[in-house]
Structure 1
Amino acid sequence: MITARQTRAARALLGWTQETLAEKALVSLTALKRLESENGLEVYETTRDQVSKVLEGNGIVFLTSDQGEGVMLVRAKIESSHSS
């Protein structure tokens, strides 16, 4: 499950505003603000899923380990099918 901090960090890596992410994920701005809140506000699982799918679809990888959590932005690999 993605955390509020991971969502904010992922959005920052992409250079997106809350409005941009809400629009791309097809969720309300209020729902996104609840998701990004550190106050433990209830968020529908569908909202969390839609947001994580949009972020992952734009190169975000969510990281979780016993030492903490984070995010990473991966770039699309350049196709090497033409180099032989």
Structure 2
Amino acid sequence: MITAPQLRAARALLGLSQQQLADLASLSVPTIQRMESSDGVIRGNVDSLMKLVGALGVAGLELIDEGAVSAGGGRGIRFKSGG
């Protein structure tokens, strides 16, 4: 789904504060803070996760799963494989 580092990077790329992202996703700031401080993959309420991913999509971001190819072929960022 989405990891905490991906979420922090996505928010930074969009230039959004936690409050702005919370508003965009119809979530609370404490929910965004919990998600960003998670270890690895964000776990939580499925509805909240779907709102978050949907809001990032509306804002123009595509989440790229590990080992996946970006369908749109646009600009992106990911960790290099192998370290």
TM-score by length of 2: 0.71
Q: Which has the larger radius of gyration?
A: 1
Confirm or deny: 8 A CA contact 2:10 2:61 kept in the other structure.
Answer: yes
CA deviation string 1:28-64 (max 9, x = no partner): 1111111111347852111111011000111101112
Q: What is the CA RMSD across the aligned residues, in angstroms?
A: 2.4
Whether 1:72 and 2:76 are equivalent positions in the alignment is yes
Which 5+ residue runs of structure 2 have no aligned equivalent? 68-74, 78-83
Which 5+ residue runs of structure 1 have no aligned equivalent? 74-84
Confirm or deny: 8 A CA contact 2:2 2:63 kept in the other structure.
Answer: yes
TM-score by length of 1: 0.70
Report the number of matched residues. Answer: 70
Moved over 4 A (4+): 39-42
- Report percent identity of matched pairs: 35
